[in-house]
């Protein structure tokens, strides 16, 4: 279908080029004919020269009337006619000076000869006014007539030059017309050939591009985790790479709610936060966690981009994910899926700086499972792993705020970092945590403090004006844990005033 449209388009282009060629042919013929008519028309110079010749003859005739006048009135009328024709002749000379295409000296000489006749005319008029009619007549018939005859020859030369120039232009117009017609046909044929060759080239390029696009789409589908979502988060399309990541096939996902591919315990709140950001028309970036049916947990860095219509209204979303599971496992404990000791070492110094900058308290709690070695010895290490997972899941339920962190920092030892609580609040909060662990009712027959698995918790509440490093803060929290473990299944929260 696409190739058919392209073929129709290029056929239209060829037809247009042919039509343009024919039209150009007609236009050039018309232009050449117009130029031919223009060059055949008398030139302005020729007209002006003929006019000068007419005025010369008229001036000479009226000069005769001057010398033949019978009274003063006739003489003055003839003199006025001479002056009028002289004025018009000078105006035509102005035209020739601007338009003349020959040697400027030729027109200058003719003009000087015209100007040289003026003293002769003035002399005749003065003689007539002095009553010397015979002398005036003699000058007019001899000297005046001779000068006019010479002027007539000069003007005739101008006319002949203009005529010859017109003939030259006429021949040039005919030659130009023939050359233009030939060149136009050549260019039209070349244009059609070029468009045809270009069409073949474009067809081949499109075919190759289509093949490359198909291969590229296949590579994207197989290697890039991407999905198209509607505004409600329902899946419109999804790549097979993403299907493999979450352990499903495309048919199982299309039309279903994506939850932005996060099914962790924070999924609902995370989805709300994502929608809130996307609805403002900006991109959301962050980390998602997905646990498949085999209880395997994976992590991905997710970028969700809003797509817009021509009115810049959000129409749907493009969700691109990058698997960071291997990287995440470097900072996550594989057994409990809690951040590990390495993550603890990275996060705690940052949280110390943030707490100091924003002037709030920071609590570090160290949690240790009571008599866990006895538990492993009695129930076995596999059962001990199950117990650790159960305790970790309960801990995870308490990590609800963005700046709450729970870590597994040793075999049965955990660390809990949270902010904004004083000693009393931390004591109450951690004691509730201790009770909930015991209420899991994980049987522990070899415990000296309970029939069930319990923990001891030591914590230190750091105020903004204290200067503790991550290492020294751990030391004082561990001291509190030491005090708590004296009785076990206990919580000990300390602060600077307690030491």
Domain carrying residue 319: 225-329
Contacts of 382 (CB under 8 A, 6+ apart): none
The sign of the dihedral angle between the CA atoms of 305, 310, 314, 317 is: negative
Which helix (H) or strand (E) element contains residue 462?
strand 455-462
216 found inside a domain: no
Identify whether residues 320 and 363 lie together within a single domain.
no
- Angle value at C-alpha 101, between 95 and 107, nearest 5 degrees: 60
Reported in sequence order, the residue ranges of 85-126 that DSSP labels E, i.e. its strands, are none
| Residue 448 domain-assigned (yes or no) | yes
Mark whether 191 and 305 lie in a shared domain.
Answer: no
Strand ranges, E, within 277-433 = 284-291, 297-308, 314-323, 362-369, 405-408, 413-419
Indicate if 321 and 347 belong to the same structural domain: no
Say whether both 189 and 240 belong to one domain: no
Exposed, middle or buried, 176 (CB in 10 Å: 0-12/13-18/19+)?
middle
Q: How far apart are CA 392 and CA 390, in angstroms?
A: 5
* Cα-based distances in Å from 397 to 179, 230, 405: 91, 31, 11
- What predicted TM-score, i.e. pTM, was given to this entire model? 0.47
Report yes or no on 366 lying in a domain: yes
How far is 404 from 418, CA to CA, in rounded Å? 5
| CATH assignment of the domain containing 267 | 3.30.450.20
pLDDT of 40 reads: 46
The strand order across the sheet containing 297-308 reads 235-238, 225-230, 314-323, 297-308, 284-291
* Residue 30 belongs to some domain of the structure: yes
Residues 410 and 490 in one domain: yes
In whole angstroms, what is the distance from residue 489 CA to residue 455 CA? 5
Q: Are residues 188 and 249 in the same domain?
A: no
Q: Do both 354 and 477 map to the same domain? A: yes
Residue-wise pLDDT tens for the chain (499 aa)?
555 666 675 676 666 667 666 766 666 665 566 555 444 445 677 777 778 778 777 877 877 887 888 888 888 898 888 888 888 877 877 777 776 666 777 777 777 777 777 887 788 788 888 878 888 778 777 777 777 777 777 777 767 776 777 677 667 767 766 776 776 777 678 777 877 887 788 888 888 888 888 898 888 889 899 999 998 889 999 999 888 888 888 888 899 998 898 887 677 888 888 988 888 889 999 888 888 877 777 889 999 999 999 888 889 999 999 988 877 777 888 888 899 999 999 999 999 999 999 899 999 999 999 999 999 999 999 999 999 999 999 998 888 777 899 999 999 999 999 999 999 999 999 999 999 999 999 999 999 999 999 999 999 999 988 888 999 999 999 999 999 999 999 999 999 866 5
Are both 362 and 301 inside the same structural domain? Answer: no
What CATH number does residue 380 fall under?
A: 3.30.70.270
- Which one, of 122, 141, 124, lies nearest residue 132 by Cα? 124
79 is a domain residue: yes
Whether 299 and 407 share a structural domain: no
Do residues 357 and 284 both lie within one domain?
no
The CATH number of residue 120's host domain is 1.20.1420
Joined tokens for residue 233 = 């988060």
What's the farthest any 2 CA atoms get from each other in the chain?
A: 166
Is residue 212 a part of any domain in this protein?
Answer: no
Specify if 98 maps to a domain.
yes
Same-domain pairing of 190 and 266:
no
Where does a domain end: 149, 179, 198?
198
Look at residue 322 and give its three-state secondary structure: strand
**pLDDT score of 51:** 81
Strands 491-494, 455-462: pairing is parallel
Q: Is residue 211 part of a domain?
A: no
Nearest in space to 423 (alpha carbons), one of 496, 355, 476, 345: 496
Quote the pLDDT of residue 34: 52
Q: For the chain, what is the domain count?
A: 3
Q: Which residues have C-beta within 8 Å of that of residue 362, sequence separation ≥ 6?
A: 351, 352, 355, 417, 418, 419, 461, 462
Q: Which of 268, 297, 329 is the last residue of a domain?
A: 329
pLDDT of residue 39: 47
What pLDDT was estimated at residue 41?
47
The three-state secondary structure class of 405 is: strand
- How is the beta sheet containing 413-419 ordered, strand by strand? 405-408, 413-419, 362-369, 455-462, 491-494
Q: Which two tokens stand for residue 197?
A: 């060759």
Q: Where are the beta strands (DSSP E) in 168-264?
A: 225-230, 235-238
Interior/surface letters 80-93, b for 16+ CB within 10 angstroms, e for the rest: ebbeebbebbeebb
User: What would the DSSP string read from start to end of 120-179?
Assistant: HHHHHHHHHHTT-HHHHHHHIIIIIHHHHHHHHHHHHHHHHHHHHHHHHHHHHHHHHHHH
Going from the C-alpha of 391 to that of each of 261, 275, 337, 375, 487, the distances in angstroms are: 26, 32, 12, 14, 20
C-beta of residue 338 within 8 angstroms of C-beta of residue 399: no
Q: Say whether both 251 and 116 belong to one domain.
A: no
């Amino acid at each position: 279908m696409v190739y058919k449209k392209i073929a129709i388009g290029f056929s239209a282009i060829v037809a247009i080029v042919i039509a343009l060629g024919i039209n150009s042919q007609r236009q050039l013929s018309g232009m050449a004919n117009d130029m031919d008519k223009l060059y055949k028309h008398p030139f302005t110079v020729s007209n002006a020269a003929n006019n000068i010749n007419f005025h010369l003859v008229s001036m000479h005739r009226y000069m005769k009337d001057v010398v033949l006048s019978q009274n003063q009135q006739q003489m003055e009328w003839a003199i006025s006619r001479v002056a009028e024709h002289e004025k018009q002749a000078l105006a035509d000379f102005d035209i020739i000076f601007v338009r003349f295409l020959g040697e400027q000296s030729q027109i200058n000489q003719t003009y000087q000869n015209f100007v040289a006749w003026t003293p002769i005319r003035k002399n005749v008029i003065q003689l007539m006014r002095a009553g010397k009619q015979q002398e005036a007549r003699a000058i007019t018939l001899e000297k005046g007539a001779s000068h006019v005859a010479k002027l007539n020859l000069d003007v005739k030369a101008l006319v002949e030059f203009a005529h010859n120039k017109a003939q030259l232009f006429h021949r040039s117009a005919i030659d130009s017309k023939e050359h233009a017609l030939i060149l136009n046909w050549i260019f039209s044929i070349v244009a059609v050939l070029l468009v045809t060759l270009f069409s073949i080239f474009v067809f081949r390029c499109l075919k190759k591009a289509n093949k490359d696009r198909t291969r590229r789409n296949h590579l994207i589908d197989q290697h890039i985790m991407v999905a198209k979502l509607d505004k409600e988060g329902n899946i419109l399309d999804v790549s097979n790479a993403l299907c493999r990541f979450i352990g499903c096939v495309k048919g199982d996902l299309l039309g279903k709610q994506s939850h932005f591919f996060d099914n962790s315990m924070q999924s609902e709140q995370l989805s709300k936060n994502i929608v809130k950001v996307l609805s403002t028309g900006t991109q959301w970036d962050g980390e998602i966690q997905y646990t498949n049916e085999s209880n395997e947990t994976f992590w991905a860095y997710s970028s969700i981009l809003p797509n817009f219509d021509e009115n810049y209204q959000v129409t749907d979303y493009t969700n691109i994910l990058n698997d960071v599971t291997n990287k995440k496992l470097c900072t996550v404990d594989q057994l409990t899926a809690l951040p590990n000791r390495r993550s603890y070492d990275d996060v705690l110094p940052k949280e110390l700086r943030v707490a100091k900058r924003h002037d709030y308290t920071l609590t570090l709690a160290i949690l240790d499972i009571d008599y866990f070695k006895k538990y492993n010895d009695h129930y076995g290490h596999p059962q001990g792993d199950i117990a650790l997972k159960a305790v970790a899941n309960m801990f995870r339920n308490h990590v609800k705020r963005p700046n709450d962190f729970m870590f597994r920092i040793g075999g049965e030892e955990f660390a809990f970092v949270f902010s904004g609580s004083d000693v009393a609040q931390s004591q109450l909060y951690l004691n509730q945590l201790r009770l909930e662990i015991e209420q899991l009712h994980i049987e522990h027959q070899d415990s000296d403090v309970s029939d069930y698995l319990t923990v001891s918790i030591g914590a230190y509440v750091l105020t903004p004006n204290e200067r503790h490093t991550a290492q020294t803060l751990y030391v004082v929290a561990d001291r509190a844990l030491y005090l708590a473990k004296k009785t076990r299944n206990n919580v000990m929260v300390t602060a600077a005033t307690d030491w």
